[in-house]
C-alpha cells in the first residue's frame, strides 16, 4: 500500500509557447504552427512529470486558453461583458456572456487527453470545467427565445458528453474544476448560489454509474491567478459539507495555504464516507518558496491523523497557471514543488510503514 499523489492540472507554459500565443493573437502565427508548439510543450511536460516520478500525469493544459474557457473557443454567440471575478490583489478576470442558444461546446477535453496519451504509457488525468462555472455564461436578464432552463439542460448534456468522452478515451480520472464553489459563498453568504451549483453538478454526475463515478473527482480551491486568490477569506467550513454532497469518488482539496489546516482536516473527517478518497493540498502554487520534501511529509502525516490512509491522497493546492497568460510562477518552480510533493508523499508512506 502507498499514498496516492496526483497533480491538479495546469503547468506554466514555456517561454517559446507564451511568445507563440502572443504572435498568434496578433495574427502573425498560423493555427498549425501554434498547435505544433503546443504539442511540443505537452510532450515536454509529460516527460518532465514522468522524470520526477509522478505516478499520474497531466498535460499541464499547454493547449488550453484557460481551465474554464476551453469549450468556448470558436463559439460565435458570445459577448465580452460577462461575469467579473475579482481577486484579492485588485485584478479581475471576466467571463464572456452568452447571447444566443442553443449552447454547444466547441472543444472537448477528450482531444487534449488523446494528444497526451500519445506521449506516455503512464496513467493520465484529465481536468474539465464544472458545469456550474459555465452556468455563469447565461445573462441575468435572459436570452429571448432561449430560457435559462433550456440553457441548463443543454449545458448538462454538453458537460456529460465532455466527461464521458474523457472516460471513453482512457482517462485515469476526470477532475471537475470547481473553484467557483468557494467563490459562491462570497457572492451569496446565504449559500443559495452554492446549493444551485452543487445541484447542477450532481444533475450531470447522476448520469454516470457508480463504477464511472469512482473515476470522477472534483477540485476546490479559493482561486489562484497571478499569485492572488478570489475567496481565501471565505470560511472553508461553510463550503466543505456541501462540497462532499457531490457524487464523485475523489475530492481534491486545497489545504497547504490554509491558515488553520488542522481545523479544515477535522471538517473533512466529519464528511468522509466509504468509497471516496480525499487528496489534500501539500504544496502552495502561490507561495514562491519551494516546500521541502520533509515539510510535505509532515503535512501528509498531519492529514493521516484525520483521514484513514486508504482514503488519503496528496496533490497541489491548485493548478500553477490556470490561465495561459499567468506567468507569476515559473515553470521550474512548479516542477520543483511537484518533485517535493512526490518525494514528501513517499517519505510519509515510509513513516507510516506502508
- For the chain, strand residue ranges (E) read 4-5, 78-79, 84-86, 92-94, 97-98, 126-129, 174-177, 216-220, 250-253, 277-283, 312-316
In this structure, are residues 345 and 3 in contact, taking their beta carbons and an 8 Å threshold? yes
Instruction: State which residues form the domain around 74.
Output: 4-351
Can you give the pLDDT at residue 325? 85
Query: Would you say the pTM of this structure is higher than 0.85?
Result: yes
Q: Which three cell numbers stand for residue 277?
A: 478518497
Can you give the pLDDT at residue 224? 82
Alpha-carbon distance 297 to 183, whole Å?
Answer: 30
Pairing of β 250-253 and β 277-283: parallel
Can you give the pLDDT at residue 88? 83
Pairing of β 174-177 and β 216-220: parallel
Residues with Cβ within 8 Å of 275's Cβ and at least 6 positions away in sequence, in order, are 214, 249
> Which region holds residue 171: left if phi is over 0, alpha if psi is between -120 and 50, else beta?
beta
Closest CA to 191 of 154, 159, 239: 239
Residues with Cβ within 8 Å of 55's Cβ and at least 6 positions away in sequence, in order, are 4, 5, 6, 122, 123
Q: Which three cell numbers stand for residue 46?
A: 509529460
Q: What are the percentages of helix, strand and coil residues in the chain, rounded to 5?
A: 45, 15, 45
Can you give the pLDDT at residue 1? 67
Q: Provide the residue-wise pLDDT of the chain in tens; the chain has 354 residues.
A: 699 999 999 999 999 999 999 999 899 999 999 999 999 999 999 999 999 999 999 999 999 988 889 999 999 999 999 988 888 888 889 899 999 999 999 999 999 999 999 999 999 999 999 999 999 999 999 999 999 999 999 999 999 999 999 999 999 999 999 999 999 999 899 999 999 999 999 999 999 999 999 999 999 998 888 788 888 888 999 999 999 999 999 999 999 999 999 999 999 999 999 999 999 999 999 999 999 999 999 999 999 999 999 999 999 999 999 988 888 899 999 999 999 999 999 999 999 999
What is the secondary structure of 51-96 as a DSSP string? HTT-SSB--TTTT-SBTTTGGGTT-SSEES---EEE-TTS-EEE--
Q: Which three cell numbers stand for residue 303?
A: 492529514
Domain count, the chain: 1
Can you give the pLDDT at residue 346? 97
Q: What is the CATH number of the domain that holds 109?
A: 3.20.20.210
Residues with Cβ within 8 Å of 115's Cβ and at least 6 positions away in sequence, in order, are 39, 42, 59, 63
Amino acid at each position: 500500500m502507498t499514498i496516492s499523489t496526483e497533480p491538479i492540472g495546469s503547468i506554466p507554459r514555456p517561454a517559446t509557447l507564451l511568445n507563440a500565443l502572443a504572435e498568434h493573437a496578433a495574427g502573425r502565427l498560423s493555427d498549425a504552427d501554434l498547435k505544433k508548439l503546443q504539442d511540443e510543450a505537452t510532450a515536454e511536460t509529460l516527460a518532465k512529470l514522468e522524470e520526477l516520478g509522478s505516478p499520474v500525469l497531466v498535460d499541464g493544459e499547454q493547449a488550453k486558453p484557460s481551465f474554464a474557457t476551453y469549450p468556448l473557443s470558436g463559439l460565435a454567440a458570445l459577448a465580452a461583458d460577462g461575469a467579473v471575478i475579482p481577486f484579492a490583489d485588485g485584478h479581475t478576470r471576466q467571463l464572456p456572456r452568452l447571447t444566443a442558444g442553443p449552447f454547444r461546446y466547441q472543444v472537448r477535453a477528450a482531444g487534449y487527453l488523446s494528444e497526451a496519451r500519445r506521449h506516455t504509457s503512464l496513467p493520465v488525468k484529465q481536468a474539465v470545467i464544472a458545469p456550474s462555472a459555465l452556468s455563469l455564461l447565461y445573462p441575468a436578464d435572459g436570452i429571448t427565445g432561449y430560457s435559462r432552463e433550456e440553457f441548463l439542460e443543454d449545458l448538462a448534456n454538453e458537460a456529460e458528453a465532455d466527461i464521458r468522452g474523457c472516460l471513453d478515451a482512457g482517462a485515469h480520472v476526470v477532475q471537475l474544476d470547481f473553484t467557483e464553489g468557494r467563490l459562491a459563498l462570497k457572492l451569496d453568504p446565504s449559500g443559495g448560489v452554492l446549493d444551485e451549483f452543487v445541484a447542477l453538478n450532481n444533475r450531470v454526475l447522476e448520469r454516470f454509474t457508480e463504477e464511472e463515478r469512482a473515476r470522477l473527482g472534483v477540485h476546490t480551491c479559493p482561486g489562484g491567478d497571478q499569485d492572488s486568490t478570489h475567496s481565501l477569506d471565505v470560511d472553508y467550513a461553510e463550503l466543505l459539507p456541501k462540497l462532499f454532497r457531490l457524487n464523485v469518488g475523489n475530492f481534491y482539496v486545497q489545504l497547504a495555504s490554509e491558515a488553520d489546516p488542522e481545523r479544515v482536516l477535522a471538517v473533512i473527517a466529519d464528511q468522509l464516507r466509504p468509497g471516496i478518497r480525499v487528496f489534500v493540498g501539500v504544496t502552495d502554487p502561490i507561495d514562491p518558496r519551494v516546500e521541502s520534501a520533509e515539510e510535505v511529509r509532515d503535512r501528509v502525516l498531519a492529514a493521516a491523523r484525520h483521514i484513514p490512509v486508504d482514503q488519503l491522497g496528496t496533490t497541489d493546492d491548485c493548478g500553477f497557471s490556470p490561465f495561459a497568460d499567468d506567468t507569476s510562477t515559473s515553470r521550474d518552480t512548479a516542477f520543483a514543488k511537484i518533485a517535493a510533493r512526490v518525494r514528501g508523499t513517499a517519505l510519509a508512506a515510509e513513516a507510516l510503514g506502508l
